[in-house]
Homo-oligomer: A and B are copies of this chain.
Amino acid sequence: MLTSTVATSNPAAGSRPAQRLQPIGMSTSLPRPQGCANCNLRSHCFTSGFLSPSHAEFGELVLAHRRIGAGQAVYRTGDSFSSVYVLKAGFVKTLALFEDGREQVSGFYMPGDTFGVDGIAFGQHATDAIALDDADVCAIPYDNLEQLSLAAPAAQRSLYRMFSQEIVRRQDAMVVMGTMSAGQRIATFLLDLSRRFSARGLSASEFLLRMTRDEIGSLLGLKLETVSRVFSKLQSDGLMEIEGKHVRIVSIPGLRSLITH
């Protein structure tokens, strides 16, 4: 069992209704305390592929910066598409909405991740992006990005890679939902989080879930009770420990073998 009680970092997210923000543009952005050159997320940001230290001043030109309160929207479905966003701090979920009111979590994003790319197809966003806790986002106006891409082949390549990764990410989600049992889906989810935390220099085995059981279930095509039951089962099987939002993975290989068998 976990010995310490861990408070969530997002006490207000649930009780505060999601509110619409103005679209984020350079003209309305707050001044950035420091530029890309000094950003501690440089290595994870997709701009690192084309913003070399010597181009730091160019980075200043491209990026805007804004704080999003917990539960608030970075953008809403149907909002005119103007920017792609890089998460600088906090966590964000994207929600896919269907015409008939159906909705589903389509992704969780952590610092360094890029989101909002879906908007390019039709000039308006195809998801809601909601902050799970207080979050800082860098908004990259799409017009600037297009310009930059024309001027810098490396920028174009980074952008294409990012697009393609979003395609692959959703494709993997399809396979997970189309072929895996509840236990396998949860294991896949946990290992994905683990890998991403690890890539950011954080612990691969111990971390906080920033989202609810309901949101996890929505992403995976499961009900919240099923998510809860699977967590309990994995704990009793000795593969993980879970107490509220606090997760400790006991056996990463154990979770992996669950998925294969």
Contacts and interface: CB of A to CB of B under 8 A. Distances in A.
A192 interface: no
Interface string A95-125: 0101010111010000000000111111000
A34 to B, nearest CB: 30
B120 A179 contact: no
A175 interface: yes
Contacts of A52: none
Contacts of A259: 100
A92 B117 CA distance: 26
Interface residues of A, number: 45
Interface of A: 96, 98, 100, 102-104, 106, 117-122, 126-127, 146, 149-150, 153, 156-157, 160-161, 163-168, 170-175, 177-180, 218-221, 259-260
B167 A156 contact: no
A122 to B, nearest CB: 8
A127 to B, nearest CB: 7
A196 to B, nearest CB: 16
A102 B165 contact: no
Contacts of A157: 146
Contacts of A180: 102
14 contacts: A98-B172, A98-B179, A102-B175, A104-B178, A106-B175, A118-B167, A119-B164, A126-B168, A150-B156, A156-B156, A163-B167, A167-B170, A177-B221, A178-B219
Contacts of A164: 117-122, 163
Given A98-B172, A106-B175, A177-B221, 17 more contacts: A103-B175, A104-B178, A117-B164, A118-B164, A118-B167, A121-B168, A122-B164, A122-B168, A126-B171, A146-B156, A146-B157, A149-B156, A150-B156, A156-B156, A163-B167, A170-B174, A178-B219
Contacts of A120: 160-161, 163-164
